[in-house]
Amino acid sequence: MTDVDELHEYTALELHQLLQRGEVSPHEAARHFLDRIDRLGPRVGAFAHVDAERALERADLVERQVPKAAPLWGMPLADKDLHLRAGVPARFGSQAFADFVPEESDELVRTVDEAGAVSLGKTATPEFGMPSYTEGPAVPAARNPWDLSLGAGGSSGGAAAAVAAGLLPFAPGSDGGGSIRIPAASCGLVGVKPSRGRVPAGSGLASLAGLGVAGPIARTVADAALLLDGLVAPAGYPARHPFAVRAPGEDGPFLGAAIRGEGRFQVGVMTDSPWDDFTDIEIEPEARAALDRAIELLDRAGHGIEAMAPAPEPGYAEAFRAVWQAGAATIPVDGAAIELLEPLTRWLVERGRALPARTLAEALAWLAGFEQRVIRRFAPFDAVLTPALAMTPRPVGWYDAGDGERNFAQQVAFTPFTSFVNVSGLPAITVPVDETSTGLPMGVQLIGRPGGESTLFALGAQLERAARRGRRRPPVW
């Protein structure tokens, strides 16, 4: 007999099976997580908006009208507050959009609906998703459920805080420079940045330099695969979309690869970063210990492990900064409303709008060449292993909110191993494998070949099993 008061204790895959067997209804699942959000949500700052009545109506509609074959049938989740849902406030983490309610939904939101999911609300994000932390005057700080004095990371920080605290079984996020992997690693979760073009509704193909893609945040590798399958093909396989990546032998569904966790692979180990010439990058002992733990586990499993020689890229920082600033230039805030923006966002917007077209064109061309060099460098390996973060999760309030230049450098020092993966269009997964002396989870990142998600899920599942972390729960649980 299923105890509906303990649904948060199940993995997302287990909850999905309960729903499929009819042991739990979509309404019961939504009600349970809404109750937890009501009790625990304010402690971790996970949500920008919750609409219980709307969510329960949606759950009842799914039960009546959506076929159970839909891959996310009845599963509770929430939309990141960068994604529009018709009739629901979308504030983008900004005071400039305090009263905005869209009339139409984004394609990603329509995708999760088509897959049969039940949205409970909007997860918190920093202003327009630009920083790698989730704090600011427009939203409460998204806090790390393992230690509430620490931040949850960003920009999908609210999603990660919600999943880690058991307020959601999993959640979609978006990642333009690490915004799924950074909060996932900060909160002891699995985060997946898919290949450019893999998720039709969040392909990255329409974003500047192809940086931003949509992907899952979850507590297990299999849970992340379940959600990615729903995002890639909400109506089932095969996905029929002109922009979907189809790598030979690596096509979905990905859940099977995550459950089986099979295969022996050649893994490169990379500890240099393209940011090394921009600022001093120091891998803290806790991050190095997690990397060493992953190397030990992969070696014990029979994988080939090879340290990679450094490959300096002194032009990376200038080119990436130019593109990041140019992307901010398109934020739809003008005139006096610019004064409503936070200092970091305003700095990015002003720099981006002053950027000469020639500088942007040169930066885009440089990054295109960088993408080719990275793929060529990684070609001998099935996957490349790096630290997920260079530091332990940062305290709330650690970032300099008033100095854009210093703030940007702080973010780079914290997470130097994520943005270049977006530039290269490659898939990546973060997996927790270790913990600090105070019990804070620490993870690693695995980067795959173009379209190589199945290999990453197989390797991630093997690491997950070998690390034997079990179902550890944060104190707020």
- Range 191-210 average pLDDT: 94
Terminal alpha carbon distance of the chain: 23
Q: Is the pLDDT of residue 237 over 80?
A: no
Weakest mean pLDDT among 234-238, 348-352, 397-401: 234-238
Q: Is the pLDDT of residue 249 over 60?
A: no
In a domain, 124, yes or no: yes
Q: How far apart are CA 342 and CA 357, in angstroms?
A: 25
Give the pairing type, strands 266-269 and 143-144: unpaired
In a domain, 80, yes or no: yes
Dihedral, 318, 323, 327, 330 alpha carbons, nearest 10: 90
In a domain, 194, yes or no: yes
In a domain, 244, yes or no: yes
Of the two residues 244 and 412, the one the predictor is more confident about is 412
Number of separate domains in the chain: 1
* Strand, helix or coil for residue 250: coil
Cis peptide, bond prior to residue 238, ω within 30 of zero: yes
Cis peptide, bond prior to residue 155, ω within 30 of zero: yes
Q: How far apart are CA 124 and CA 134, in angstroms?
A: 7
- Decide if 451 contacts 204 (C-beta within 8 A): no
Of the two residues 118 and 253, the one the predictor is more confident about is 118
In a domain, 459, yes or no: yes
Share of the chain above pLDDT 90, in %: 92
In a domain, 472, yes or no: no
Read off the pLDDT band of 246 (50, 70, 90): low
Two tokens, residue 23? 């042991």
Q: Is the pLDDT of residue 380 over 90?
A: yes
Rg (CA), the chain: 21
- Range 411-440 average pLDDT: 98
In a domain, 475, yes or no: no
Q: Is the pLDDT of residue 243 over 80?
A: no
Q: Is the pLDDT of residue 251 over 80?
A: no
Read off the pLDDT band of 256 (50, 70, 90): very high
How far CA 129 is from CA of 276, 431, 434, 469, in Å, comes to 24, 22, 28, 31
Per-residue pLDDT, 198: 93
Q: At what angle do helices 12-21 and 221-232 cross, to 10 degrees?
A: 60
Domain, as residue range, for 200: 4-467
Q: What is the pLDDT of residues 14-47, one digit of tens each?
A: 999 999 999 999 999 999 999 999 999 999 999 9
Q: How far apart are CA 189 and CA 422, in angstroms?
A: 20
Two tokens, residue 437? 């002396």
Per-residue pLDDT, 374: 98
Amino acid letter for position 237 = Y
Q: Which DSSP helix (H) or strand (E) runs through 58?
A: helix 52-65
Two tokens, residue 207? 């974003």
Q: How high is the mean pLDDT of the chain?
A: 95
Per-residue pLDDT, 235: 78
Closest CA relative to residue 146, chosen from 178, 120, 185? 185
Per-residue pLDDT, 160: 98
CATH code of the domain covering residue 447: 3.90.1300.10
Q: Is the pLDDT of residue 327 over 80?
A: yes
Closest CA relative to residue 385, chosen from 466, 271, 283, 243? 271
Read off the pLDDT band of 4 (50, 70, 90): confident
- Range 410-426 average pLDDT: 98
- Decide if 24 contacts 15 (C-beta within 8 A): yes
- Which positions are catalytic? 80, 155, 179
In a domain, 46, yes or no: yes
Per-residue pLDDT, 297: 98
- Range 352-366 average pLDDT: 98
Q: How far apart are CA 200 and CA 335, in angstroms?
A: 35
User: CB-based contacts of 384: which residues, under 8 Å, 6+ apart?
Assistant: 267, 268, 269, 270, 308, 378, 446, 447
- Decide if 236 contacts 221 (C-beta within 8 A): no
Share of the chain above pLDDT 70, in %: 97
